[in-house]
Amino acid sequence: EAGVTQFPSHSVIEKGQTVTLRCDPISGHDNLYWYRRVMGKEIKFLLHFVKESKQDESGMPNNRFLAERTGGTYSTLKVQPAELEDSGVYFCASSQDFGNTQYFGPGTRLTVL
Amino acid sequence: AQKITQTQPGMFVQEKEAVTLDCTYDTSDQSYGLFWYKQPSSGEMIFLIYQGSYDEQNATEGRYSLNFQKARKSANLVISASQLGDSAMYFCAIISGGYQKVTFGIGTKLQVIP
């Protein structure tokens, strides 16, 4: 069974540009999560989808971040316009049911110059 | 609110020895789950072990065991017979109550010495 996949693995962009990160959860997992780790800090929750609906987006830092999960399969996280402080590793995770173990993808390392 | 504290930024252990990574947690919920994840230098987050708050026995998964002390609110990870491939960052995490978001600690960097 394939795990959670994320694309791209690395992205280097300039301040003010737009970047879109993609996450493909484990097949059959209705729950999809986005997390972010800024250098030297804890991994922080961004938001949670149940199928195509946003269940909790309390961790989204500001309105420059937009997450979608059309069709309830893969998800995208768009940062527009990117700022220097957005640099970090963005993780996606998925779980089958409420409270189950969340399995993480390899992350996307975003660098904003 | 839920919180994880990992007080060991870095640890060294000799190959084949056992090592304990500390984790304390805080939550006001009666029902919660505790996790440990491993992050090798390649960057991916690998699930290691899970302990539910109502589980009476400590969780074990191969060489990993979770020393769960509920009264002390601690959930230490014990790795037995360390291997060079165990060198990585280790994150303790909690999920509690009605929340689906996992709260992580800052991590402990473990280095296994040959």
Q: Sort out which chain A residues have CB atoms less than 8 A from B99's CB and list them.
A: 56
| pLDDT tens digits, B70-82 | 999 999 999 999 9
Q: Within an 8 Å CB–CB cutoff, is residue A105 touching chain B?
A: yes
Phi, psi at residue A97, to the nearest 5°?
A: -130, 170
Per the CB < 8 A criterion, the answer to whether B101 and B94 are in contact is no
| B34 Cβ under 8 Å from any chain A Cβ | no
First to last CA, chain A: 37
pLDDT, one tens digit per residue, over A19-58 is 999 999 999 999 999 999 998 788 999 999 999 999 889 8
- Do residues A33 and A94 touch, judged by C-beta distance below 8 A? yes
Terminal Cα-to-Cα distance of chain B (whole angstroms): 41
Q: Does B37 sit within 8 Å of A89, measured CB to CB?
A: no
Residues in A touching B45 (Cβ below 8 Å): 91, 93, 104-107
Residue A58 exposed, middle or buried by CB count within 10 Å (0-12, 13-18, 19+): exposed
